[in-house]
Structure 1
């Protein structure tokens, strides 16, 4: 199917004739409500179904004790997805929020509240953003073993911009609440 461009939307790439760059993106997934594994797999599939997004890797699944969550919160399942994309960072953020909404993510004022699905943009190429709606690289990724360990499994030589090599950041963290679940596996979508 051919898509006809909307004549009312001016795209700088269309004006210049230049190709949009392909950027490597790291997405972190988490779920601690409902069918956690189904939510994670659904997120991977939805990401893979996104136009101009190509899933290149999915990490092992980790079970994680909730960090800074309300008392009684259940453990999370976490994973990292690597993608290549030509989409802009804000479009990726919109897509991540839409995927969370499909899985009935409830947003509350409670910090680190339990959730059916969390889709975080960790890095989008070397893009930096300090907008209230989009912070890149993710401002707390360097403190989160549940992000760094699955990422290191996929890319042992990965570097978190402005913070350093992922394996070095991970070595400085307490990973005791993190358990690799080899009995659970996510498909590429």
Structure 2
């Protein structure tokens, strides 16, 4: 069983709805169990700045799937939710990134784990921090990375996840 952390973001259309639909679809992937969902944060875009603000969150899940098979399923979810890749770091209905998977280190053209830019981005690390257990060996590293992020003041609490997800999904992940 693999322990996986995902990052989700949306900045087009009904951002909450896209996050909800992504979590719902991820929960339906065979051999995937969502363990915990972070709260939702609103953030400024990074890279391409001529776009709206993002809603960001993180998920912790367990899966029997191997990394590339999990990636394939997550890309199907993105495609189902009309994700397009027209502008690098541009606007999107949904973005799903595999941040970490156990202690794996993968460096392939289609997948890099841990995510190569996660340690520079407070909008990824702050929601992730909510999912990390005290016994996780990397908790202090994540705290240090957050303290060093230049965008940490731009990560604004938006909504408790249970306000969106509890009662709507078959299981509550809080």
Per the shorter chain, which TM-score range? 0.7 to 0.9
Query: Secondary structure of 1:181's match?
Result: strand
Report the Cα distance in structure 2 between the residues aligned to 1:45 and 1:178, rounded to whole angstroms: 24
Is 1:138 aligned with 2:108? Answer: no
Query: Secondary structure of 1:165's match?
Result: helix
What residue in structure 1 maps to residue 64 of structure 2? 86
> 1:90 Cα shift?
0.2
Larger radius of gyration: 1
Report the Cα distance in structure 1 between the residues aligned to 2:141 and 2:69, rounded to whole angstroms: 27
What residue in structure 2 maps to residue 16 of structure 1? none
Report the Cα distance in structure 2 between the residues aligned to 1:156 and 1:82, rounded to whole angstroms: 11
> 1:183 Cα shift?
5.7
User: 1:58, 1:186 within 8 Å by CA — same for their partners in 2?
Assistant: no
TM-score (ref. length: structure 1): 0.81
Is 1:42 aligned with 2:21? Answer: yes
Q: 1:30 aligns with which of 3, 6, 9?
A: 9
Query: Secondary structure of 2:159's match?
Result: coil
User: 2:7, 2:96 within 8 Å by CA — same for their partners in 1?
Assistant: yes
Q: 2:99 aligns with which of 103, 107, 122?
A: 122
Is 1:59 aligned with 2:38? Answer: yes
RMSD: 1.8
What residue in structure 2 maps to residue 101 of structure 1? 79
Query: Secondary structure of 1:81's match?
Result: strand
Between Structure 1 and Structure 2, the one with more helix by share is 2
> 1:186 Cα shift?
4.0
> 1:159 Cα shift?
5.3
